Amino acid sequence: MNWTRLFFINKAKEWARLRDLAPDKPGHVCFAEGQISMWKGLAFQATKEFINAGVMCEAIALPNHS
């Protein structure tokens, strides 16, 4: 189950790197921010659901959903 969460977090980081490649293009930055938010949200929700289902320990920190 943790691989799913880590995949979502990795995709958010990937979009953050892409965003930083074109800081002078507001449209690109805006789209990348949307993707970052989406992937972080998926990681947050997946972690919550896995904890609620009892297949993941609460000791694993929830990713920051901001």
The whole model's pTM is what? 0.82
SS3 annotation, the chain = CHHHHHHHHHHHHHHHHHHHHCCCCHHHHHHHHHHHHHHHHHHHHHHHHHHHHCCCCCCCCCCCCC
Count how many domains the chain has. Answer: 1
- Residue 41 belongs to domain spanning: 2-51
On whether residue 63 sits in a domain, the answer given is no
On whether residue 58 sits in a domain, the answer given is no
What string of pLDDT tens digits covers the 66 residues of the chain? 788 989 999 999 999 999 999 999 999 999 999 999 999 999 999 988 988 888 876 655 555 655
